[in-house]
Amino acid sequence: MKITYDASADAAYISLVDQVGACGVDRTYLCDPMEVGGMINIDLDRAGRILGIEVLTARALLASDLLQAAEQIGT
């Protein structure tokens, strides 16, 4: 698992696999923002396995220590 965070976009990505296979992301499930209190997108492969999770407005939805420990990207 790898977590990256872009502070300027306030977006985090939680990769659940080391490498995305040749087929890559087959579809993205968009969670209902009203249900989760923000934008969360789940990337799935062709078999329906979760590859990663994108969290927008990450400061509001994720623990600050998790974001501090994440690999910082963008500026």
Q: pLDDT digit string (tens) for 18-37?
A: 877 667 889 999 999 989 88
Domain residue ranges of the chain, discontinuous segments joined by + = 2-72
* Distance separating alpha carbons of residues 66 and 43, to the nearest angstrom: 20
Q: pLDDT digit string (tens) for 40-66?
A: 999 999 989 999 999 999 999 999 999
Q: What is the pLDDT of residue 24?
A: 82
DSSP 8-63: TTTEEEEE-SSS--TT---EEEE--HHHHTS-EEEEE-TTS-EEEEEEESHHHHS-
23, two tokens:
């087929």
Q: What is the pLDDT of residue 75?
A: 62
* Distance separating alpha carbons of residues 72 and 75, to the nearest angstrom: 9
